[in-house]
């Protein structure tokens, strides 16, 4: 080792260099408050190392960026740890940078002759923030895509050159592939190079003037080695331990692949930019415009910080006192605004619903990517675009939730609301006007039809058409409408309820329900073949016990037990809705397209007719496959059942409420 060091010394002068570095004087002795600069350099080095590792597996294009990040996080050996280290080290670098800046200002390390070093530090801070902004987009997921789009739109608010700056950053007038490649070039090439260059200058100027200490007489002077090196090393180890633990136990989220066709309401900047996000939401700031809130105010603040050395030189101790007061006020403002943003988001029902949907979509995208079909050549976004589990809820919310609910919500986990009775009144929970489709076609659904028909369809009575029909009927008029309390099915259920609930018919009811549920053909459910056959006999022949014997579904619904025809013909339709494969995929598609056909409700129909112009064949297929569970099975948790919440909200009013039924 001595021979090697001597060899290096004769050729590089390494001993003299190390001696100069390690024997730097530390006035007042080693202290923990001096570790922040070293931890910043260490964190940047960690970023460089993990960045190169990520770079080796990353592919910057709109069809491969998300896919390569998915590969890193879920398939590459220790890829999730590497990405986690890079992710949390970036956040740690911002925190350490803020602490270092405060410490420099409090200790007066910005004063003459250290002004240049302070300004170099400000440049480094801007580069670090630039790295954070550009890195946010690189996974090309919904979260980064929409948050960065907001950032580039803010660029357009720059006075005079705003539009040109935005076009330069985006790589054109549109936000897409060239935006990603330019952000990647900035993040992995230009900004790190600038940071290394300015960091070398920063350290050089720092070494020229040495440490600035607040109280140099607190202890005898010492040298950088060994005491301060030990403290710096322990601090760097602590930083590494924190980011490693976070990477191991809280992996950074990869949300769904970026899709401009899907609105992403949960987009937020990283938490350390939330203060600016919240500042822009103040009414006074909004009224003055984005240019004022996002360009002018931050520009003034940075100008005040950059002018601190001049302020201290001109005003002396008063200037230094003002600088410290401004720094603490700014830090307090950032903390308060950040906490306000977190609090408001946590109590914003719509935002929380959007977060739930975003998390659900992200987990589903990963689940489908891991699946046997893997990621297609067209990219992972295709997996979600063609997935009923993902798009079915959105289509339901768009087309069905004005009348129906899905387990009490709009299909996307949110309660449906309507405006209050006055302009000043808050929104209220809207009453459903049609059946809840959360368990459509499953055993519970069929049991409710057989045993509790009136209650199962009771929400119809909240509708305007029902009240108008009742009023017309009460006035002596003739009106043909669906009435859950007064129809052949309602009369059959209520009139035979005691027999249906009798012990001797318990197995018969179970068999009939099994048959009706099996007829739907819903995926993911197995049925008892013997029960199905027994139920078929009950439905067609009416082989019940006691007074119900001879009562069959086929006496009214002569299509029960038949296959749903590929080309339905109304010429032989009875006056009762067809039950041929009731609630199956084919039946439901036909019902949505032709609810007013004689084979369904005919003249009694109140449902909107969805033509292909109103609901495309592709979207109809996605919606129906979701409702009938004909999609790749998922372990992703679905939206929470909100029937109890809905009923509780409707209870004080005169609106009709129904009991919550368990989902399939």
The DSSP line for 397-435 is: HHHTTTT-BBTTB-SSS---EE--SSSSSPPEEPPPSS-
Q: Do strands 428-429 and 417-418 pair parallel, antiparallel, or not at all (unpaired)? A: antiparallel
Separation CA 82–CA 89 (nearest Å): 10
Count CB atoms within 10 A of the CB of residue 193.
Answer: 11
Contact 392, 411 (CB under 8 A): yes
Tokens 């109103």 locate to: 614
* DSSP letter for each residue of 152-178: HHHHTTSTTTHHHHHHHHHTSSS-SHH
- State the Cα–Cα distance between residues 483 and 466, nearest whole angstrom: 8
Residue 458 located in a structural domain: yes
Contacts of 266 (CB under 8 A, 6+ apart): 143, 351, 354, 355, 357, 358
Q: Is the pLDDT of residue 553 over 60?
A: yes
The percent of residues in the chain predicted with pLDDT above 90, rounded, is 64
Tracing tokens 């924190």 back to the chain, one arrives at 242
Q: Which domain holds residue 518?
A: 443-650
pTM for this entry: 0.86
**pLDDT, tens only, 482-526:** 888 888 888 888 888 888 889 888 999 999 999 999 999 998 889
Same domain, 205 and 288: no
Q: Mean pLDDT across the chain, nearest whole number?
A: 90
Which of 348 and 31 is assigned the larger pLDDT?
Answer: 348
Helices and strands: H and E segment counts in the chain: 30, 4
State the DSSP code for 257: B
Asked if residue 399 is part of any domain, the answer here is no
Residue 357 belongs to some domain of the structure: no
Note whether residue 184 is domain-resident: yes
Mean pLDDT of 442-449: 94
Whether 579 is covered by a domain: the verdict is yes
The three-class DSSP label of residue 571 is helix
Q: Is 419 exposed, middle or buried (0-12, 13-18, 19+ CB in 10 A)?
A: exposed
pLDDT band, very low/low/confident/very high, at 14 (cuts 50, 70, 90): confident
Same domain? 156 vs 290: no
Per the listing, tokens 């985006």 go with: 170
For residues 419 and 338, which has the higher predicted lDDT (pLDDT)? 338
Residue 405, pLDDT > 70, answer yes
DSSP annotation string for 260-321? TTS--TT----GGGHHHHHHTTSHHHHHH-HIIIIIIHHHHHHHHHHTHHHHHHHHTHHHHH
Q: How far is CA 290 from CA 157, 334, 598, in A?
A: 6, 18, 58
pLDDT score at 652: 66
Please tell me the predicted confidence (pLDDT) of residue 657. Answer: 52
Q: For position 662, what pLDDT does the model report?
A: 43
Determine the Cα–Cα distance for residues 236 and 232; give it in Å rounded to an integer: 6
C-alpha 338/C-alpha 295 separation (Å) is 19
Pairing verdict, β 25-26 and 222-223: antiparallel
Regarding whether 155 and 299 lie in a shared domain, the answer is: no
In this prediction, residue 372 has a pLDDT band, given cuts at 50, 70 and 90, of confident
pLDDT higher at 181 or 651: 181
H/E element, 505: none
Q: Are residues 342 and 311 in the same domain?
A: yes
CA dist 407 and 455 (Å) reads 15
In a domain, 600, yes or no: yes
pLDDT at 225: 83
Res. 653 pLDDT band, cuts 50 70 90: low
End-to-end CA distance of the chain: 72
> In this structure, what CATH number is given to the domain that contains residue 103?
1.20.810.10
Of 236, 267, 298, the position where a domain reaches its end is 267
Whether pLDDT at 656 is above 70: no
Q: Which residues contact 140 (CB under 8 A, 6 or more apart)?
A: 62, 65, 66, 69, 180, 257, 258
- Written as six digits, the tokens of 7 are 């060899």
CA dist., res. 51 & res. 45, Å (int):
9
Within this chain, do residues 262 and 291 fall inside the same structural domain, yes or no? Answer: no
Using one digit for the tens of pLDDT, what is the confidence trace for 528-537?
A: 999 999 999 9
Cis amide linkage into residue 113, ω under 30° from 0: yes
Q: Are residues 212 and 85 in the same domain?
A: yes
Q: What is the pLDDT of residues 28-70, one digit of tens each?
A: 777 888 899 999 999 999 999 999 999 999 999 999 999 999 9
Task: For the beta carbon of residue 347, count every other beta carbon within 10 angstroms.
Answer: 9
184-188, 229-233, 417-421 — which is least confidently predicted?
A: 417-421
Q: Which of 222, 246, 267 is the last residue before a domain boundary? A: 267
The answer, yes or no, to whether residue 660 has pLDDT greater than 80, is no
Structurally, how many domains does the chain consist of? Answer: 3
Q: What is the mean pLDDT of residues 173-188?
A: 91
> Looking at the predicted structure, is the pLDDT value of residue 216 above 90?
no
In angstroms, how far is CA 413 from the centroid of its own chain? 13
Q: Check whether residue 589 and residue 477 sit in a common domain.
A: yes
The reported pLDDT for the residue numbered 613 is 94
Confidence of residue 655 (pLDDT cuts 50, 70, 90): low
Residue 644, in any domain of the structure: yes
pLDDT on residue 412: 93
Return d(Cα 235, Cα 32) in angstroms, integer.
Answer: 8
83 and 69 in a single domain? The answer is: yes
Q: Could you say which of 267, 282, 297 is where a domain stops? A: 267
Using an 8 Å Cβ cutoff, are 247 and 84 in contact?
Answer: yes
Name 406's bridge partners: 409
What pLDDT shows up at residue 664? 38
Please tell me the distance from the alpha carbon of residue 649 to that of residue 622, in angstroms, as a whole number: 31
Whether residue 293 sits in one domain with residue 253:
no
Which pLDDT value is given to residue 81? 96
Nearest to 24 by CA among 163, 184, 273, 210: 210
pLDDT of 663 over the 60 cut = no
The two most distant CA atoms of the chain are separated, in Å, by 114
Distance between CA 174 and CA 423 in Å, rounded? 39
User: Across residues 212-224, what is the average pLDDT?
Assistant: 74
What is the average pLDDT across 204-219? Answer: 75
pLDDT digits (tens, 9 = 90+) for 593-612: 999 999 999 888 999 999 99
Residues with Cβ within 8 Å of 210's Cβ and at least 6 positions away in sequence, in order, are: 24, 25, 27
**Which residues 6+ apart lie within 8 Å of 214 measured at CB?**
106, 107, 108
CA distance 404 to 463: 11
Query: Is the same domain home to 241 and 333?
Result: no
For position 661, what pLDDT does the model report?
43
Each residue's pLDDT tens digit, 112-124: 899 999 999 999 9
Average pLDDT over residues 578-594: 94
* Helix, strand, coil in percent for the chain, rounding step 5: 60, 0, 35
pLDDT tens-digit series, residues 123-136: 999 999 999 999 99
42 plus 163 within the same structural domain: yes
In percent, how much of the chain has pLDDT > 70? 97
Taking only the tens place, the pLDDT of each residue in 555-574 is: 888 899 999 998 888 887 77
Same domain for 259 and 323? no
Contact 331, 323 (CB under 8 A): no
Encode pLDDT of 71-104 as tens digits: 999 999 999 999 999 999 999 999 999 999 999 9
Cα 442 to Cα 628: distance, rounded to the nearest angstrom: 9
Query: Would 202 be classed as within a structural domain?
Result: yes
């Amino acid at each position: 080792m001595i021979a090697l060091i001597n060899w290096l010394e004769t050729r590089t002068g390494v001993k003299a260099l190390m001696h100069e570095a390690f024997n730097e004087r530390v006035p007042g002795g080693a202290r923990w408050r001096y570790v922040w600069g070293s931890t910043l350099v260490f964190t940047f080095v960690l970023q460089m190392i993990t960045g190169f590792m990520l770079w080796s597996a990353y592919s910057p294009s709109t069809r491969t960026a998300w896919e390569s990040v998915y590969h890193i996080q879920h398939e590459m050996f220790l890829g999730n740890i590497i990405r986690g280290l890079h992710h949390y080290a970036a956040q740690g670098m911002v925190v350490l940078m803020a602490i270092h800046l405060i410490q420099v200002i409090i200790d007066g390390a910005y004063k003459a002759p250290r002004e240049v070093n302070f300004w170099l530090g400000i440049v480094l801070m801007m580069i670090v923030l630039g790295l954070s902004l550009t890195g946010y987009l690189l996974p090309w997921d919904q979260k980064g895509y929409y948050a960065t789009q907001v950032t580039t739109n803010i660029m357009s608010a720059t006075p005079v050159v705003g539009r040109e700056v935005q076009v330069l950053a985006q790589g054109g007038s549109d936000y897409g592939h060239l935006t990603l490649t330019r952000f990647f070039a900035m993040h992995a090439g230009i900004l790190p190079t600038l940071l290394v260059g300015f960091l070398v200058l920063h350290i050089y100027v720092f070494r020229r003037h040495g440490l600035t200490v607040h109280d140099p007489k607190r202890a005898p002077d010492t040298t950088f080695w060994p005491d301060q090196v030990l403290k710096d090393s322990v601090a760097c180890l602590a930083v590494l331990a924190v980011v490693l633990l976070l990477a191991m136990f809280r992996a950074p989220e990869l949300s769904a692949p970026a899709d401009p066709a899907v609105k992403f309401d949960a987009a937020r900047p990283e938490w350390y930019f939330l203060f600016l996000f919240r500042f822009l939401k103040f009414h006074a700031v909004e009224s003055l415009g984005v240019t004022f809130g996002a360009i002018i105010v931050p520009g003034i603040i940075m100008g005040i910080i950059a002018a601190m050395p001049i302020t201290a030189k001109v005003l002396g101790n008063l200037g230094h006192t003002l600088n410290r007061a401004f720094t603490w006020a700014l830090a307090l403002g950032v903390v308060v605004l950040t906490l306000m943003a977190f609090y408001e988001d946590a109590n914003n029902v719509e935002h929380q619903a959007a977060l739930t949907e975003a998390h659900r979509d992200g987990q589903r995208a990963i689940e489908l990517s891991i699946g046997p079909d893997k990621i297609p050549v067209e990219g992972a976004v295709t997996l979600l675009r063609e997935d009923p589990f993902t798009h079915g809820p959105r289509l339901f919310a768009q087309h069905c939730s004005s009348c129906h609910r899905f387990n009490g919500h709009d299909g996307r986990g949110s309660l449906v609301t309507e405006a209050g009775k006055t302009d000043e009144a808050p929104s209220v929970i809207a009453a459903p006007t049609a059946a809840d489709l959360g368990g459509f076609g499953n055993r519970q659904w069929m049991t409710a039809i057989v045993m509790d028909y009136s209650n199962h369809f009771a929400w119809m009575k909240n509708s305007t058409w029902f009240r108008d029909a009742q009023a017309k009927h009460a006035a002596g008029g003739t009106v043909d409408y669906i009435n859950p309390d007064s129809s052949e099915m309602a009369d059959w259920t209520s009139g035979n309820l005691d027999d249906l609930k009798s012990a001797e018919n318990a197995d018969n009811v179970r068999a009939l329900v099994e048959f009706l549920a099996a007829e739907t053909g819903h995926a993911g459910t197995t049925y008892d073949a013997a029960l199905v056959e027994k139920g078929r006999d009950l439905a067609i022949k009416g082989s019940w016990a006691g007074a119900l014997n001879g009562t069959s579904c086929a006496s009214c619904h002569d299509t029960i037990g038949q296959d749903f025809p590929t080309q339905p013909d109304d010429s032989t339709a009875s006056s009762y809705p067809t039950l041929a494969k009731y609630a199956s995929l084919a039946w439901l598609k036909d019902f949505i397209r032709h609810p007013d056909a004689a084979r369904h409700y005919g003249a009694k129909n109140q449902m909107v007719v969805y033509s292909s112009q109103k609901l495309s064949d592709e979207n109809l297929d996605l919606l129906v496959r979701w409702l009938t569970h004909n999609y790749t099975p998922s372990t992703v948790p679905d939206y929470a059942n909100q029937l109890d919440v809905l009923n509780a909200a409707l209870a004080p009013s005169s609106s009709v409420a129904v009991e919550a039924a368990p989902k399939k």
